[in-house]
């Protein structure tokens, strides 16, 4: 992830843009998932939970 400072932009604003970009891209989520072993049944369980949350949020 790369963020360039805009003219007249302070560091806090650039940092906020960087953090937002990292969270939207899913870099940290994929790193955390890869940092520990997760069994196949656990990944399926997590997928079902995420789908249920998405479905409940839409309704």
pLDDT of amino acid 33: 82
Residue 28 placed within a domain: yes
Rounded to two decimals, the pTM is 0.54
User: Phi, psi (5° rounding) for residue 12?
Assistant: -60, -40
The domain tally of the chain equals 1
Neighbours of 22 (CB within 10 A): 14
Residue 30 lies in a domain: yes
**Residues 29, 15: contact at Cβ < 8 Å?**
no
Q: What whole-number distance in Å separates Cα of residue 51 and Cα of residue 27?
A: 20
Structural domain of residue 27, as residue ranges? 10-35
For residues 26-47, average pLDDT = 90
Q: Give the model's confidence band at 19: pLDDT under 50 very low, under 70 low, under 90 confident, else very high.
A: very high
1 contacts 18 by C-beta, under 8 angstroms: yes
Q: How many CA atoms lie within 13 A of 42 on its CB side?
A: 5
């Amino acid at each position: 992830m790369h963020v360039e400072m805009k003219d007249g932009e302070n560091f806090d604003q650039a940092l906020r843009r960087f953090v937002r970009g990292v969270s939207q891209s899913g870099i940290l989520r994929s790193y955390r998932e890869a940092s520990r072993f997760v069994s196949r049944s656990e990944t399926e369980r997590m997928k079902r939970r995420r789908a249920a949350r998405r479905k409940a949020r839409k309704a």
